[in-house]
Structure 1
Amino acid sequence: MGQTTLYQHYLEPVLLRLQLVTTPPHTVSVFQRPSLPATDMVPSLVSLCAREVVSDHGSSPSWLSCVPRELYRPLLEAAFAHCRPLAVGELVQRWPERTLSIGGRRKSGQAPPNRLCIQALLLAVVRGLTDKRCRLQVLDLCGLQCDEGRLEDSMGGWSLTVALCSTLLQARAAASRGHRDCERERKRGLQMERERDSAVKRDRGLESRRGGTEGEDAGKMECRSNGGEESMVQARVRPEEETVRGVRRRMELQRRNEPQQNSPSTSSPDWNQSVVVRVRADLFINARSWERVRGALSLPGPLRLYCRYLRVEELPAPSVASLLELLPKDGLLGLDIRYSSLGVPGLALLLPLLEPFPLLHSLRLHYCNLDLQRTQPSQQGALQEMFSGLGALKRLRRLSLTALRLPGHLRLLLSSLSQPLEVLELPYLSLTPADLAYLSCSPHASSLRELDLSENRLDVSSVPSLRRLLSQAEPCLAQLSLCGCGLSDSLLGALLPSLSRCRTLRTLRLALNPLTRTGLVSLAWTAVGIPSLRLLLYPSPLEEYEPGLPPLPSSAQLLDWPLMEGSEVSSLTVTQLEEVLLAKGRQHDLLMTSDLLKYSTDLAVED
């Protein structure tokens, strides 16, 4: 099927259905002129034509032979969007460019790639290692995983990590089989060479014995024979040929010993295997997948795995340390450790291992069993090692510590950093007024873009420090979270003037605070006065709860206490908030919600 036939089968029916027959020729002759860049065409037309092409898998051998390289990308996007794993595999196996990037940040409403398509992609990468048409050298899968759990047929971070490591092992096994096949061919050639040498030696032995028994008569007969035969016999016994055979024999012995010296089971793992494709991805590792990931990273192969963001769960400190030692040092941007019993000694072990990663700028430690409220032997020395290891991270910009319980140690922790932070998350840290006082005067205050102080109990003594902190951060602060901080109407009222001056604030989270409906309306008036604000997560007012709450309930009590079932109480709150939005004309660009589970986090990072 030629290019004209492809046009007739795919492009022309699409144009007829769209009534675009009058479109100028340069926008529709994609298959007729392969040199035309795809960017010169209408994107919707390209996408529609690509969908028609990949939908007919029976004709793929025809259009793959003549499709221009500029159309590989829209064809692959159409194959992913409409779940055509066979087309995905065929396109990736002969990918014509050095780089292939799949994933990244998806557009609003765009579904994540299908699991079958991702598996077809990985299998095609292995097949492409032996396909001369494939030019792939860098495969970028960062952001490909879907961790929201919205779709059953999508692939999460853990599944993608396991699939990637299985692909690395398959590629290494295929390369090992090819290495063994080459070794068998080499040995077969040496065997044939030895058989030829043995045949020559047997001929020489027969000739010498024949000459000894026949005596002079044989010699006379040879003298009367043809001179060409005599020259042939003399050529076989030249001393130069004996020297060549000796060198060949020595080379044969050396080659025979080489596989034993360079065996992959010895200490030298570099056995003539070069990296063909570099794979970049975000890895999610736990106790079930740790062995497989370690096996995929420990030995060389044609695929090399590079990690952008590493997330580990339920792993002890030595296991995390072994992973850090195996990962390539360039490319790691962030480390996220969760639900691991590290303690102060574990962090003191891990933090120095992060220094060789030059691009690391994000460190998250969630529920890692670090409790400085309990004094333990040799804890002070481990603390000094931990702080010095943290200070060695020269490019650190994000620090997230959840439930580590570090009361009174915030100064020692943050003063060890060499550069100001841009993102600081300290929920459930049991911060004291002295900690907040230091934070408000620290070099980090004026550079913070995101600040999370949730579940740290605030009182009257903390308000001056918090107001000073907001005044320092107001030029750049974009996200602020004060959920579950015990903010009553009076405490929040003292903070509202400082909040109103944060002109770059986009997200404000104040859920699980004991506010009345009056305090909530005052908060809404302040929120609509911040032009950059896009999301306000407010608490349900105390009037909506069933009777029996204490005067100043905690966040845990507000979370567990039942709300009134009648819709009239909650509708009154919604009506008052809508009136505030309408009064300022913010009903379309500001979302106010009390739903802790369903509010859109994309609003916090949208440009």
Structure 2
Amino acid sequence: MVFSLVDLCAREVVSDHSSSPGWLGCVPRELYRPLLDAAFTYCRPLAVGELVQRWPERTLRVGGRRRQGQGPPNRLCVQALLLAVVRGLADKRCALQLLDLCGLQCEEGGVGDPMGGWSLTVALCTMVVQARAGAQRTLWREGERERKRVAAMERERDQVKREREKPGNEEEVGRPLAKCVRTEKDGPETSGCPGEGEQIKGVRRRMEMERRKENTVDRVGGVASEEAKPSENEDDNEVVVCVRADLFVNARSWERVRAALGTPGPLKLQCRYVRVEELSVSSIGSLLDLLPRRCLMGVDIRYSCLGVPGLALLLPQLAAFPALSSLRLHYCNLDIRRDMADQQGALRDMSLGLGRLVHLCCLSLTALRLPGHLRMLLSSLSQPLEVLELPYLSLTPADLSYLSCSPHAFSLQQLDLSENRLDESALPSIRQLLSRASDCLLHLSLSGCGLTDQLLTSLLPSLARCRSLKSVAVALNPLYLAGLLDLVRTAVGMPSLRQLLYPNPLEDYQPGLPPMPTSAQLLDWPLDELVTVHKATSLQLDRVVTESGRSDLFLTCDLLNYNKDLVQD
């Protein structure tokens, strides 16, 4: 990774926190971004807080795709960022209006102590609640000051009135007081100082002016200007900063998320992608009601016992989000093979609900066990899918035949058929599917599909014609070394391919493995303890790659650390 001169200078500036009072007051706004990047890269949370608290631009984006070799922000830096956003609400130097944290979260326990999705969600919701409480305290203090001021003016007016009503007051005070006191016959032009009527009118005028100030910009109280862009509802009039992020909601964080989304305040939490785990249908519905409509692009529901009827109830709520393009359902207990009343009717309702998601281009259904119903589910969609993930779905030859002839075959960029058993009857449909998706398919996964050497040999010509493929995963298939070498020879002849996840050949396992092992058996069966066995396999594969001159092709058998998203475009 090559650093520019600005990056190197920014690193030196943020490394010494004792010098920050000297440069914070004079640094130009164009250098705030390099300084903040350096503070994140080299874990300087104090510098992160000071820069964000006086951020000079309206938008701050942290997260998303990072430069090559750049890790995720440290947990302390993220916490300092969130605290500084709250402090910046009372700082006139801060111009921040939109904080974009989409893509900031990563897996828990990663290198460098990053902040995971659940931890980041809890921290964000805590920040929103604290900002709201601080704004309420500020408004309460201002209200108290205003009440005291009005009460003092009332006491002053009562004192003037009592002084006027004392007998002989005019003789004691003399002519100057007479000029200041208006009678009913006096007009507004004849008095020399304001009388009781003018004082009352002045108090009312001041109170009216204070009420009108509610429509002007007040960063401490969190009030929006009348000249600002109109919002969707009245709650947006109190928003100072919109916080856009990806949320991870489960049973432990649900109450805090509901508190953050349910009450207006100076920080408005917006969601791009929401991941839900272990929540009931009613709780998921309540969460969808709280999310802003315009921002949500994806919903990921995992380990929730929805059932087909429950999902059919949620889909109409999802149709209310105009930008929703991704729906992922993982282990949501939609097994329709059990004998339940009106299961087919609920399945039709689910299909109609999917059809109402007019912008849906990514659909992931994991372990839902819907054999023979793929046509019913996908035929109702209003546009062809770009991403289709169907692992553990118990697909039948009829399902694969429909998929190969459907409009989706010509638009698929990602296809995951992992853990669906493929045999001779399914091969014609798979070959036709690969042929029709040859110009657009970027990522393909056939892991755990029971591909033998013979089946793979029949499939390799169709695979080789996929000119756009960047990654292929065929792990946990019962291949011998000869079949694996044929796979690698085909891979090196595909110029666009960058990653290949291959299975350990059957020769590398300890004795006793069944002749046709399943993917679960291949996953649990121990590999041969002799290092020379694995080394011999690696040497043969590396020789094929070296002889082809493909230094840009990455081969791996590490199933746990494989990630197709690491492929650079």
Same fold (TM over 0.5): yes
Alignment match of 2:512 (pick from 543, 548, 553)? 548
Whole-angstrom CA distance in 2 between matches of 1:600 and 1:400: 17
Q: Within the alignment, does 1:380 sit opposite 2:344 as a pair? A: yes
1:331-342 equivalent positions in 2, closer than 5 A? 331-342=295-306
Whole-angstrom CA distance in 2 between matches of 1:253 and 1:90: 38
The answer on whether the counterparts of 1:278 and 1:304 sit within 8 Å (CA) in structure 2 is yes
Q: Within the alignment, does 1:200 sit opposite 2:163 as a pair? A: no
The answer on whether the counterparts of 2:275 and 2:301 sit within 8 Å (CA) in structure 1 is yes
Higher percent of residues as helix: 1
Deviation at 1:537, TM superposition (A): 1.1
Whole-angstrom CA distance in 2 between matches of 1:249 and 1:138: 39
The answer on whether the counterparts of 2:308 and 2:343 sit within 8 Å (CA) in structure 1 is yes
Alignment match of 1:183 (pick from 135, 143, 146)? 143
In structure 2, the residue matched to 1:438 is 402
Whole-angstrom CA distance in 2 between matches of 1:233 and 1:425: 86
SS for the counterpart of 2:13 is helix
Q: In the alignment, residue 293 of structure 2 is paired with which amino acid?
A: K
In structure 1, the residue matched to 2:230 is none
Deviation at 1:560, TM superposition (A): 1.3
Alignment match of 1:168 (pick from 121, 128, 143)? 128
Whole-angstrom CA distance in 1 between matches of 2:174 and 2:313: 87
**Structure 1 stretch 58-67 or stretch 121-130: which is displaced more?**
58-67
The answer on whether the counterparts of 1:270 and 1:300 sit within 8 Å (CA) in structure 2 is no
1:192-591 equivalent positions in 2, closer than 5 A? 192-207=152-167, 210=168, 227-234=175-182, 241=195, 243-244=197-198, 274-586=238-550, 588-591=551-554
Deviation at 1:149, TM superposition (A): 3.0
In structure 2, the residue matched to 1:135 is 95
In structure 2, the residue matched to 1:31 is none
**Structure 1 stretch 415-424 or stretch 188-197: which is displaced more?**
188-197
Deviation at 1:228, TM superposition (A): 4.0
The answer on whether the counterparts of 1:504 and 1:532 sit within 8 Å (CA) in structure 2 is yes
Deviation at 1:468, TM superposition (A): 0.6
SS for the counterpart of 1:330 is coil
Deviation at 1:124, TM superposition (A): 0.9
SS for the counterpart of 1:461 is coil
**Structure 1 stretch 435-444 or stretch 533-542: which is displaced more?**
533-542
Deviation at 1:409, TM superposition (A): 0.5
Q: Deviations over 1:19-64 (max 9, x none)?
A: xxxxxxxxxxxxxxxxxxxxxxx96221121122112222212211
Whole-angstrom CA distance in 2 between matches of 1:372 and 1:480: 27
Whole-angstrom CA distance in 2 between matches of 1:501 and 1:272: 53
Q: In the alignment, residue 367 of structure 2 is paired with which amino acid?
A: A
Q: 1:253 to 1:62 in 2, by over 3 A?
A: closer
The answer on whether the counterparts of 1:280 and 1:305 sit within 8 Å (CA) in structure 2 is yes
Q: Deviations over 1:506-564 (max 9, x none)?
A: 11111111111111111111111111111111111112222222221111111111221
1:591-602 equivalent positions in 2, closer than 5 A? 591-602=554-565
Whole-angstrom CA distance in 1 between matches of 2:110 and 2:180: 83
What is the TM-score of this pair, normalised by structure 1?
0.85
Segments of structure 2 that go 5 or more residues without pairing to the other structure are 189-194, 213-232
In structure 2, the residue matched to 1:62 is 22
Whole-angstrom CA distance in 2 between matches of 1:242 and 1:229: 13
**Structure 1 stretch 373-382 or stretch 425-434: which is displaced more?**
373-382
The answer on whether the counterparts of 1:475 and 1:504 sit within 8 Å (CA) in structure 2 is yes
The root-mean-square deviation of aligned C-alpha atoms, in Å, is 2.6
Whole-angstrom CA distance in 2 between matches of 1:580 and 1:355: 50
Deviation at 1:366, TM superposition (A): 0.4
Deviation at 1:150, TM superposition (A): 2.1
Q: 1:413 to 1:257 in 2, by over 3 A?
A: same
In structure 2, the residue matched to 1:146 is 106
Whole-angstrom CA distance in 1 between matches of 2:209 and 2:180: 32
The answer on whether the counterparts of 1:535 and 1:603 sit within 8 Å (CA) in structure 2 is no
The answer on whether the counterparts of 1:273 and 1:301 sit within 8 Å (CA) in structure 2 is no
**Structure 1 stretch 351-360 or stretch 160-169: which is displaced more?**
351-360
SS for the counterpart of 2:425 is helix
Q: Within the alignment, does 1:155 sit opposite 2:115 as a pair? A: yes
Q: In the alignment, residue 72 of structure 1 is paired with which amino acid?
A: Y
Whole-angstrom CA distance in 1 between matches of 2:395 and 2:281: 26
Provide the aligned length of Structure 1 versus Structure 2.
542
Deviation at 1:159, TM superposition (A): 0.7
What is the TM-score of this pair, normalised by structure 2?
0.90
Q: Within the alignment, does 1:123 sit opposite 2:83 as a pair? A: yes
Q: 1:580 to 1:247 in 2, by over 3 A?
A: same
Q: In the alignment, residue 561 of structure 2 is paired with which amino acid?
A: K
The answer on whether the counterparts of 1:307 and 1:332 sit within 8 Å (CA) in structure 2 is yes
**Structure 1 stretch 381-390 or stretch 334-343: which is displaced more?**
381-390
Q: In the alignment, residue 190 of structure 1 is paired with which amino acid?
A: V
Whole-angstrom CA distance in 2 between matches of 1:91 and 1:206: 63
Whole-angstrom CA distance in 1 between matches of 2:207 and 2:555: 80
Q: Which has the larger radius of gyration?
A: 1
Whole-angstrom CA distance in 2 between matches of 1:434 and 1:127: 60
Q: 1:272 to 1:548 in 2, by over 3 A?
A: closer
**Structure 1 stretch 469-478 or stretch 150-159: which is displaced more?**
150-159
